[in-house]
Every structure is written in structure tokens, then in C-alpha cells.
Chain A
Amino acid sequence: MTDSTDMRWWYVPMEIVMLRRWIVAAFLVNVLLLTVDYLRAESDLLLLGILSCLLFAALRASLPNVNDHVRRNLSLVLSAILLGIAVYRLLRTELTVFNLWIHCWSLIPSGLTLYWLSGRPVTVWTSRKLSDTAIEYGLMRNAELSKTFHATSTHITLLHFVAITVIPLIWIIDIAFSEGNALGGQIGDSFTTEHFSKILNGDSFWTWLTNSLIVSIGTALLGLFIAIPAGYAFSRYKFTGRDVSMFSFLLVQMFPGIIILVPYFLVMKTLGLLNSHLGLILAYCVTALPLCVWMLKGFFDTIPRELEEAAALDGCNQFQVFTKVVLPLSTPAIAVTALFSFLAAWNEFLLALTFNTSNDMYTLPVGLASLISSTGQAWGDFAAASLLVSLPVALLFLFFQKFLIDGLSAGGVKG
């Protein structure tokens, strides 16, 4: 109780804490959004945009501290001006969802600042000395609000990223469900499933799918099978040739692949691996190996050796130590590397095309490419097929997250 002055300095209403961050975010987004006005070549709006950015910077600088009602009033004035500019800009532009979204980035922050700064908690905090009980109450209130505010800001941020991620995909979905075979048009102007039924009724798609599944699952399994021991050895042992071996995994990825396609083809021919699943599986494993080995090595590094030593003392041999201690602890890394190998095989085009010159052996990406001919690009069919290709992977993502969440926390490393 002796430090009530300190406590007063220490206590800051949640609104102010949040505003300090959100106004920075609003400033950055508004700077980015200046490009819109620039591209639209509307110089007066651009000037207003620059002005609001400057005002946001000023607002951030003038956010009040405790017992500082001058700065509070200044902030109120600034946010009122910002709100005015935002409303004016909104009225000036055509009312579309996109424009509304743009202006929300100045409307909401300035409106919220106005609202919160004129609200009771901040008013009280800036204008008079708070009693200890008031501060205690404030801290409790902060703890409650903090959760909501954090969740809100996380949701807003993630929604923005999801929007950027998903918009092109919505486009693909629209093409796939649109009549005709055009790459464009308005979203949702027509609806048909003809492309899907065309693809699904043909025999080829199922052949491609089977091949892709065999090759991708094979790659994931074989890739893990050879990458795990290697990653473990690199992580745990010091041996002659270790650095060079690790580096040699990278070497191969440095040479542009398209130049050495012909000798690669000759190697596969010599080994009798053309037109076979095994050939592709091996080739993809080799492509995925560098990442798998390096990632696994990095992950094994983080597993304390003490655990293994303890297990060895309990009478486990080296193999048991590995399977009973190390493997269960590395599920997340193994899941990620398996997913990576799977997708490397699932999406690869050039090698699959070069090594498999028979339609029975085509994988999905090659099959997709053969939907495009010299004359008529059947974009509708193509988009529908792409969605069908992506669907299993999306399900796989859902499934794999189990490993990400259950990973180590369940294993319990208490070193």
C-alpha cells in the first residue's frame, strides 16, 4: 500500500493500452492503402489520405498518460478531425464493399478513439488522482477486457490474412461452377456442375488420382524412412564427413533442374525406373530429402539428450531409445516433413511428365495440364479438376493439425 503513486503510474486502462497498438496498425494499413488512391490517380483524395496518415501518427504520439487531460483533449480533437476526413472520403467514393472496407480503417480507429477517450474510465484516469480501490478495480477490469480485446484483434488480423489467401481461390471455385470455359466473368453469374461431372465421369481422372495417391503416399513413407535415421545421426553424433554430407544434400537443389532433365531421364532409364511408380517415388524422395533431413535434425536437436540417457540407463538399447523416446516426442516435426514430402509429390509436374510417358501412369498435375490444348483452354474443366485435386489436401491439413496441437505438450518434456 505504500507504493500507491507507483501503482498509479503502473495502471493504465485497457482502452489506452489497446489504442496504443491499434493506432499503429491503423497507421500502417492507411499508409499501404495510399497506393489505392495513387493507382486511382485521384490526387485530392491522395492528399487527404496522406493527411490522415500524419494525423494517425500525431494521434499515436498524443495519446494521454495518467493525469494528462491536455493530451487527452488534443487526442479527442485529432480523432474528431480524422473521423471527419474519413466520413468525407467515404462520401466522395462510390459505395462498394471494398471502399467501405478501406474507409473502415480510418472510421473505426478514429471513432473508437473518440468513444474510449471520452468514456468514463479514461476520463477519470486522466483527470484526477485515483484511489487505491479504484486502481484495483481498474486492474480487475483490465484483466477481463484484455481477453476480449486480444481475441478481437487476433480475429481481425487473421480475417485479413484469410481474405487475401482465399480471394484467388474463390475465383477458382467460381470458374469451376460457371458455365462455359472462360477465365473471368463476374462472381456468381451462373451455376453449373457440368465441369465436375465431365471430369468425374471420365476414366482418366480416377487413374490420375490413383497414381498420385500411390506416388505421394509412397514418397511420404519412404522419405521419412530414410530421412529420420539420417536426421537423427546428424543431430546426435559427431563423425567424419558429417558437415560435408549435410551440405551435399543442399548441393543438388542449387543446380537448375530444367537444365539437367535429360541426364536425369537417362539415369532413370538406366535404372529401369521410367514409367513406374517407384521411379517417381525415389525421385521425389530425393527432392524432399534436404528439407526433411535438415528439419528433422533441427527438431531432434531440441530434444534433451538427458531423456535418452535416462532411457539407456533403464536398459533400453539404442533402437528402443529411438523408437520409445525420440520418435514420440518428434511427432510434430515428422508430421510436417511427411506433409511436405506428400505435397512435393502431389503437386510436382515436370519430372512426372518427363519420366512417365504413358497415360496410365500420369499423375494429377500432368493430367490437369493435358486438359489444356493448343486451341481451346477449357478453364472450367481445369478449375473443377484443380478443386478436386485440392480437396484431399485440404482434408489432410485438417487431419494433420491434430499432430500439431497434440505434439510435445502431450509428450511432456520435463528435463
Chain B
Amino acid sequence: MNGVARGSSRRKRLLAVVLFSMIFLSGCLGGSQENSRQTDADGDIVLEVWHTFAAESKEEQVFMNSVSTFETAYPNVTVEVTMVPFGNADQLFMTAAQGGQAPDLMRLSSDQLGAIGEVRVDGFPLLEDLRPHLTPQDRAIFEERALQAMRYGDALYGIPASQDCLSLIFNKALFDAQGLEYPDETWTEQDLLNAAELLTYQDVQGLAIPIKTAYWWFPIQEGFGGSLFDDDGEPSLDSNGSSEAMRWMLDLELEHGVVATGTQIEGMKNQFISSKAAMIFDGPWNWATYEASRLNIGQTLLPMVESTGERMSPLVTYKGWTVSKQSANKVAATELALWLSSLDVQKEFAVETYTMPTHVELESDSDINDDAVLAGFLEQTKEGTPAPTTRAMSLVYDPLSTAFEQAYSGIASTEEALSGANQQLEEQIESISRADPFPLAEGYRTIAIEFETTGATSYDIFVDGALHTEIRVESMVDGSLLGYDSCTDGTNELLQLGQQRIASGSMDTIECHLTGMIPEQDHFIEVFGDDVLIFSTTQLTSVADERPEAGDTSPVLFALGAIVLSLIALLSFAKWNDTKLGRTKSKLAHFYVAPALLALAILTFYPVLYGFWLAFTDANQTQLGDQSFIGLDNFFEVFSAEGFLRVTLFTLVWTVVNVSAHIGIGLFLANMLHRSRIRGKVAYRTLLLLPWAVPSYISVLVWRGMFQPDGFVNDLLGTNIDFLSDPTGAQIIVILVNIWLGVPFMMMSISGALQSIPKDMYEAAELDGVVGWAAFRYLTLPNLRSALIPLTLLGFIWTFNMFNVIYLMTDGGPNLYFGQPGQTDILITYVYDVAFREGAYGVAAAWSVIIFLMLFAFSWRYMKQTNATEAVA
């Protein structure tokens, strides 16, 4: 009997192992199929494109149209389009790239390039340097400023398809009501202020502008003569002009009251839409929204600043199409990128969606110039300052937001705040890790030719019958070195003026590297000197594309196999041990537990172990995938971080208050609904559960909106308080919102547990006179113990690591001190900042390990204290 039982259980175990390995193997096969998606069954090229246009939007429509015209024009190419949520796009791209799954093409903005340009995965950049891919003629159609914005260092990482910047938009009806002239390009900042003061009456504000947001401050800063960086690219936030600009901007609210208290980006839009603000600094992207709200609006250039005579100059950012370094079809991908930035597509975008073009010919296009709005916004971009595509630029926002909080709350003067921000920015630039520029593969998509000069005044190089490079011989030299491709007179690089190369005249030969050639394809090259053929050749380049190996998954597979095998071994040992100890009752226990444990182990043990390993390495975004062991350095950095104790303390307060409230209120409501015999119990319970049903993303944002100065809470109170900019207020509010979110779950779980208490128990107790509080205390609570213990424990862990609420409500702010966590940051939100804003993954992992250890210590103690693992019965 015993032998049979043991034999059958062994067979079962064997069966489980076999089954599992089968699932496992099929999984691996599936995995290897995944990698080769470059071509489909017919040998056609498949391009995967990620875009961030909103779902169901006009932009998406125009984009999809242009993709399908591309597919018609290139029948051998299939384009797979994926829409990626805007807020997560670059992070998602980096994750996919680390897994070897990056798309071929992606739309990025120039300020994202400043962060992504420094990223290296297994030693490779994320994006392809497009310099060898484009001919001088391909580039010639784009504004030089736009192209320059797509460059990080020397590399050209994208093809600019659009640009945007702020401008002045005004509500004509509100101006008419006051009998004021509409703003025009002759206005000074004083005119703006005067008009805004006249327009501020009753519930209307003169101006809507988020006065603590750096992006809106940049134009004013330029107008007052400040600049973000000096000529050498060093931060120069601490100039007089900058602090005057900040003072002027803050005074719009604090001194003159023409801007509503605590206006933020969303609030600003709402004020303008509901005709509660007469003027707004906003971009063309919102024009359609305002028109759809039936506003009669106009646009003009941002005003001049009287004292400097400079016009306010908004930051111009560019959006462009980038090609992934991992793409297997870079030639086709570049072709598509050019198509998506071509004249027709840009024009359609401009006309349909107010997207400002970067194509030089569209500046003089009649359709665009006839449209006053388009022409006006395009004019504004010319007055703008292109955002430098540098690492420093991507770091500038955090210190500035702290500077604004300091100056706004009066902790520091604008001078002090800005010089603090400058110092902080310099320190960050100093400490941030940098990657070396990635070298171009010589000869890739490039053919070098050398021809003797004939004394002609111009040389035109044609490739396959199309003009490629123009060289003009001229003694006057005032061109520049752009560094996209190379043409030398033997020793010196020829300068460039417009689209032409300039040779000074006295050379014998000219050597040119012709870019944009297709590998393994013969190209017929002709050179004309003053329209006379002087040289011709047929050449090809066979230098292959250099790209990272598609992510090798065998180490992961090995690790997973090891985890599974050791788990099975452990379980078998435990089983053998039990048999030896004679616990015959539990002969199937391990078998019952195994599926859950295996699922857990396969999916999550490896990531967690990897996270631990990361904490002891120098992992950062410039060397993803090839980090090395550095011991405990990261932990020293964590413990020496300023504000470590403050964040830990607030995390504890946050967790304890939340969990107590969740359990307390949940218990109260569940008990009340369970015990009382009232009508409408089902309705009450359903209504009370609703916060759990609504996606927390939107309910948290609605709560944030309700706590704004023009929000619902202030309407109720009849006040005008900016709750979230006050440190204590913000802390209380994030906790309240999280309580609101968490109660339904606890209520539901406790309701479930309450059902396990037999009703006759209460009846018996009632006969003994045990009712109300006593019944709750001595009957309900003890019986809920087995449910409350895990709920409290898990609630504690979840709340400790609750990211969404704080991230969406305040993003950790208000951030009052440079280089420190914000006032509402908890450990997890700060870890996020360290990892994704600073790119210091090793340090972030060390923070994570510390979080883990804190929770581990708490949970272990709690478990032992409450005997949570023991059965109560």
C-alpha cells in the first residue's frame, strides 16, 4: 500500500517535470522565432514604426495616410505601425532596445534626443547616425536649424519633420468687451502687462501662463537678455536678465494679480477655453482645441522687452523621425523617414493639424502663407531659439523647478534661487556619466571618389543621373564646416555655404565621400566641370551595416533553468524530509504548492536577483548591458544622499497612515453593511466600491484637478488656495487621495471574510447580551484575524511601494531644495527619479535593495509576531 502510494506520487512528480519542460521548450522556440522579423514570407521588407500621435486624432489620421502612400510607392515594403503612449515612449524604447526588440523607426523630439543620445546598450547607441545615409540633396530640403537640432554631438540622429514653440494667443471677444486694441507685434512687455491689468475684472484674468514652469519662462528670460547657456555651452542661469525675467513672471501673479493663483498647464488651458483668460502663451498645437470651443481668437508674436530691445524668444523644439541602431533595414527605414518628412507630408500636417513644418520650400508656400494662423506661428518659430540638443539641456528642468518653488514661496530671492539652480546644474553635468561618441563605420553607404580639377568655376557630382554634390570655386571664403560628409581639396575640408561646397581655387584634385549610397549596388558617378563631363566611374560599397547582435537570451534561459531545477530539487528534498519524519498526511502538499511556486519563480526570481546584482555594479545609462562590479559604492551614495532620512520618514508616515485608514474605514464600512438590516445595501456597496472600478490614472488626475486653485474644493470653500504647492498641504492631500483609492479593496476583502463568521454565533452572543461594540470586539475581530493579518501585511508592502498616486498628483513636489527629494517624495518615487532622470541604474537598484530590506525586516517580524503562517483552527 505504502509502496504504491509512493510510486504513484513519484510518477506524478515526473509528469510535472516533463510537462513543465515541454511548456518551457515550446516557449524557447517561440522566442527564437520572435527575433527574425525583418522580412516577411515573400522576402519583403517589414518596417516597424512607433509613433506618439494620440489615438483617434487627426494627426494619427494624416500619419496613417502618409504611411499607406509610402507602401504604395514601395510595394516591397510593409510598414507595421504601433502607437505608443506619449508619456512612456522613450522609456519603452530603451527597454525594447535592451531586449533587442527596438522598432526600426520612431518619432522623437529634439529634447528627448538630449537624454537618449547618451544612452549605450551593449556599447551601441540606441539610434543610427544618419549622416552616411543622406545625400547633401536629401538634407538640403530642411532648415539648417532644424537639422542641427536633430544632432547630438556630431551625430545626426533624426530627420526633422516638425517644430513648435510658444506664441501669444488672445481672445478677441474679451478685448472687444473692454474696448482694447488687439495685441500686435509692436507690443512691449509693459503693453502686455497694462492690457492684462485692464482685462482682469470679475472672474476674468488678463493672462494665462503657468508662472512656475520653466518652458514658459524661457522666452521671457531671452527677452530680458538672459540665456540658459553661454557661448561655451556652460550653464548661465544666474545672469541678471534671468533673475529679472523670473521676478517679472512671478509678479504677474504675486504683484499684479493678472494671472490666476497657482495656474498650471491644464488650468491655463481651461481658463482660456472657458473665456476666463484674455491672453495665453501657447503653441499652435492647441489652436484647433480653442477653435473647437467656439472662441474667436487671434495670434501674434510674443512681445518685446523695452529695457533690452529684445523680443521674447520662445524655445523651439523639433520632432523628427529616428532610425534605430538595431534596425536590420536601415536603407528602407531611412527612406521612410525621409518620406514622412517630405514636402507633401509636412504640408498636409501643417494644413490639417497646425504642425509647423521644417521644409525650406514650405516657408514660401502659398497655401501656408495664405493661412494667417500658420504664417503667424511660422513667423514665431523664426523668432524662437532652438533648444540645444545636449545632455545639459535635458537636465535643466529639475533645478529650475526647484528655483521657481523657492522664489515663489519666498525662501530665496530670484537671484539666490537661480544661482543655486546654476550651481546644481553644473554639479549634475559634472557628475553625470558620459559615453564616448560612437564612431562611424568607414565606407558604410559612402563611396569615395577623387578627381583632378580642370580650372572650372564649378564642379557638379552626379550619382546615377541625379545631382549629389555641388562645388563652387571662389576665393572669398565665408562658409562653415558642418561635418555631415567630407569633401577635401587634398588637405583641407571644403567649407560649406548653403548647400554648396566652396573651394578656394588652387587645388589639383578634389576628394569627395559621397554619402547615401546603397550597399552592394553599382552607382554610376559623373563629375561635370562647368557642365562638361570630366570624370566618370562606376563603383559600389560593400561595407556592411554594423549593428548590435539581437539580444542573446541564452544566459536568461540558463538562469531560468537553474531556478526551476533548484526549486524542484528543493521541493523534492522537502518532500523526502517529510516522508522521513513520518508526516504522511501531507503527502500531496508539495504537489499542491508547486504550480504557484514555479510560476512565481520562473517569472520573477530572475528579475529580482538581477536587481540585486545591479545594486553592486556601476550600471548607468551610458553602459547598459555591460556594467561591472563595484562593491558597496552605490550603498554609500544612498546613505550619504541628502534627505535620505526625510524621505524614509515620510514613507513610513505615508504607509502607516494609509494602511490604518484603509483597514479602519474598510472594516467600519464592511461591518456596517454586513450587520445592519437596511434597504439598498447592494446599491451602497456598489457605490462604495466604485473607486476600485475606475482606472486610478484618471481618478487621481481628477483629484489633482479638484485641488487646483480654480478646482472644485476651492469652489466649495469659496477660497483660492493652491493646496499642492504647500508642502504640508500636498502631503496631507496625497495621503487622502490614496486612502480614497484603497478603501474599496479592503472593504471588499473584509466583506468576504465576514461571511465566514456564522450568523448563529452572533445570535448566541446576542442572547448573552453581547451586542454592538462588544460583539465587534470579542466576536468579529478575532474571527477576522486570519484575513486581516495578510491584508495588513500586503497593504503595508503595496502602500510602501505605491508609485502612481504621488507620481501623478505631485510628482514628488513641491521640490524646495536642490539635489534633494521633493516634499511628497516617498522612497519609490525617488528611486524612479534616480533611475530614469539621472540614468543611475546602479544607485537606483541600491535604493531598491534598501527598500526591499526594510520591507523584509518588517514583514518577517510581523509574520513571526502574529504567527501568520500558522493555521488558526
Contact = CB atoms under 8 A, between A and B. Distances in A.
Contact of A233 (B589, B665, B753): B589
A269 B551 contact: yes
A76 interface: no
Q: Which of B100, B705, B721 has the most CB of A within 10 A?
A: B705
A204 B55 contact: yes
Contacts of A291: 790, 794
B266 A377 contact: yes
Given A289-B600, A401-B682, A184 B711 contact: yes
Contacts of A404: 685, 751-752, 755
Interface string B87-106: 11000100110111101000
A184 B751 contact: no
B873 interface: yes
B753 A298 contact: yes
Interface stretch (A48-56, A103-111, A359-367): A359-367
A408 interface: yes
Nearest to A275: B34
Given A269-B99, A386-B698, A237 B585 contact: yes
A237 to B, nearest CB: 4
B86 A374 contact: yes
A258 B860 CA distance: 24
Contacts of A179: 293
Interface in B598-657: 599-600, 602-608, 610-611, 614, 624
Interface string A208-244: 0000000000000000011101101111111111110
Interface string A385-396: 010011001101
Contacts, number: 460
B123 to A, nearest CB: 16
Given A171-B712, A184-B711, A232 B592 contact: yes
A249 interface: yes
Interface residues of A, dominant DSSP: helix
B699 A181 contact: no
Contact of B28 (A41, A227, A272, A386): A272
Given A271-B31, A302-B783, A373-B53, A265 B82 contact: no
Interface in B680-722: 682, 684-699, 701-703, 705-706, 708, 710-712, 716-719, 721
Nearest to A302: B756
A263 B871 contact: no
Contacts of B606: 263, 266-267
Nearest to B556: A270
A260 B607 contact: yes
A260 B30 contact: no
A252 B600 contact: yes
Contact of B758 (A167, A183, A397, A408): A408
A358 B794 contact: no
B749 A270 contact: no
B55 A367 contact: yes
B593 A230 contact: yes
Contacts of A297: 786, 790
Contact of A250 (B87, B607, B859): B859
Nearest to B786: A298
A41 B717 CA distance: 11
Contact of B790 (A286, A294, A381, A407): A294
Given A162-B687, A353-B88, A390-B694, A168 B699 contact: yes
Interface size for chain A: under 10, 10 to 19, 20 to 34, or 35 or more residues? 35 or more
A239 B55 contact: no
B701 A183 contact: yes
Q: Which of A39, A155, A239 has the most CB of B within 10 A?
A: A239
B551 A266 contact: yes
Given A155-B678, A298-B753, A248 B597 contact: yes
B228 interface: no
A254 to B, nearest CB: 4
B253 interface: no
Contact of A302 (B80, B581, B698, B786): B786
Nearest to A253: B797
Contact of A241 (B571, B607, B673, B855): B571
B570 interface: yes
B597 A245 contact: yes
A168 to B, nearest CB: 5
Q: Which of B577, B581, B669, B873 has the most CB of A within 10 A?
A: B873
Contacts of A184: 266-267, 270, 274, 705, 708, 710-711
A254 B717 contact: no
Contacts of A413: 758
A91 interface: no
A246 interface: yes
A112 interface: no
A251 B797 CA distance: 10
A235 B736 CA distance: 36
A394 B583 contact: no
A369 B856 CA distance: 34
A398 B54 contact: no
A309 to B, nearest CB: 12
A287 to B, nearest CB: 9
A120 to B, nearest CB: 27
Contacts of A247: 859-860, 863, 869
Contacts of B602: 267, 271
A396 B592 CA distance: 30
Contact of A36 (B55, B717, B758, B873): B717
Nearest to B27: A271
Interface in A88-113: 94, 96, 98
B590 interface: yes
A154 interface: yes
A254 B855 contact: yes
Given A264-B603, A339-B748, A302 B872 contact: yes
B551 A376 contact: no
A254 B797 contact: yes
Contacts of A302: 756, 783, 786, 872-873
Interface stretch (B144-152, B284-292, B308-316, B333-341): B284-292
Interface stretch (B374-382, B492-500, B518-526, B844-852): B844-852
Q: Which of B81, B285, B686, B696 has the most CB of A within 10 A?
A: B686
A373 B52 contact: yes
Nearest to A413: B758
A372 interface: yes
A151 interface: yes
A343 interface: yes
Given A168-B703, A303-B873, A407-B755, A265 B99 contact: yes
A226 B599 contact: yes
A250 B861 CA distance: 13
B17 to A, nearest CB: 17
B604 A180 contact: no
Contacts of A22: none
Interface stretch (B128-136, B190-198, B240-248, B827-835): B827-835
A199 B273 CA distance: 23
Q: Which of A94, A259, A286, A397 has the most CB of B within 10 A?
A: A259
Given A169-B699, A182-B274, A266-B556, A255 B848 contact: yes
A39 B717 contact: yes
Contacts of B605: 252
Nearest to B585: A237
Contacts of B575: 239-240
30 contacts: A41-B719, A155-B678, A171-B702, A183-B701, A184-B266, A233-B592, A239-B583, A240-B578, A241-B590, A250-B793, A256-B801, A258-B828, A264-B603, A264-B607, A266-B98, A267-B560, A269-B99, A271-B24, A271-B28, A272-B29, A294-B793, A298-B786, A332-B756, A353-B85, A369-B697, A370-B85, A390-B695, A396-B693, A404-B752, A408-B758
Counting from the closest, the 7 A-B pairs by CB-CB distance are A272-B30, A375-B285, A373-B54, A294-B790, A336-B752, A393-B693, A237-B586
Given A172-B699, A229-B593, A247-B859, 5 more contacts: A166-B690, A241-B570, A258-B832, A295-B749, A376-B54
